[in-house]
Each structure stands twice: as C-alpha cells, then as structure tokens.
A and B are shown apart, each in its own frame.
Chain A
C-alpha cells in the first residue's frame, strides 16, 4: 500500500518562530489533507490541498503532486499551535480511503 512519511517526527519551537513540516507519499494521490490534533485529541481540518498552494492566516500549505510531497508552513508560532500534525492522502485507485502519515509532534514553548 501507499506509504506516507512525515518529517520531522518531533519539533520544539520558541513562540514566534517559523517552521516547515513535510509529508512525502509513495504513490499518486487524489486528495491530501492536513490536520492538527489538539491535546484533547480532536482532529481539526487545516487544508484540503491535492495540489497547489493555499493560505489561511499564519498557516499555508503547498502540494507538489507530481513530486509526491506536501509542505505545511507555520509562521509566528503560538503555544496553541502545539499538538500533532498529520497529513493524510487518498489514493488514485479504489475507494477514497484516507491513509494517515506518521505525524509530526510540535511543542511551542513561551
């Protein structure tokens, strides 16, 4: 099956710093989503981004489908950005099933 790898696995930032999270996938995809899982466990939708670039406030994402990767940029990080960031992809074939990446655990300290 498709492999979805995220890097780095863990990241510690000082408040105000910028960061880039990466998602690599091993096969063609129809869909890619970025989620933030907060400390209470809820998965919050950040981006639906099968290709191209999107921005939402301090966050932006870019997916280069032909090269099989996506990037999530966090600027001016805040303590509330702490949590786990997952990318998840849907393959081009078969049922539209989300396959989650390995996750990046982010801790933003004051």
Chain B
C-alpha cells in the first residue's frame, strides 16, 4: 500500500532564514506530487505540482521553490522566509486510476 511522509512535523524559523521541507512517497511509481499551504482557518492553496522528475509547475509566484530530484521525493524550499510564509504545508500524491489526491501528515511552520 502507498504511504506518504513529511518532515519535519513542526518547525519554528526566524524571518530571513532558509527553509527545506521534504516529502516522500512509498508504494507507487511516477506519482503526480503536490505542495499546498493552508493558513490558519483557511482553505488549501496549491503552490506547486509535479508530473515527473524535474518537471515542476508553479501556481503562485512567491519566494518559495520546489524540486523533485527523485521519482518519489518532492522538496519545498525558500532562501529567505517571510512572516507570511507561516502555515500548514501539505504534500499530496495522486493515484494513477483517478484524480484523487492523498495528503501527507503536514508540516506546521511558524515564522517569527
């Protein structure tokens, strides 16, 4: 069966510091992968999606970037965090048979 991991689970970072969040998927090959951000009490904002290695689409221009160095690894990065980057970051993978997305446990980021 498929599982999706994210780490770290929580992170507190100062403004201007770099960021690296990691997402890995097990039990499937060549999945579509997604990064979402959710501000407190708000909906899901799609940040990036990837249909394959080194194939990244950006949905929202900002100071974040994404990379997919391996088939089942998706990384979200920033060189300098802003206060507005605080939120709950969710990675998701999409199955091959339907469009259903399955979410990882998330990373809660607080930028101070």
The answer on A and B forming one complex is: no
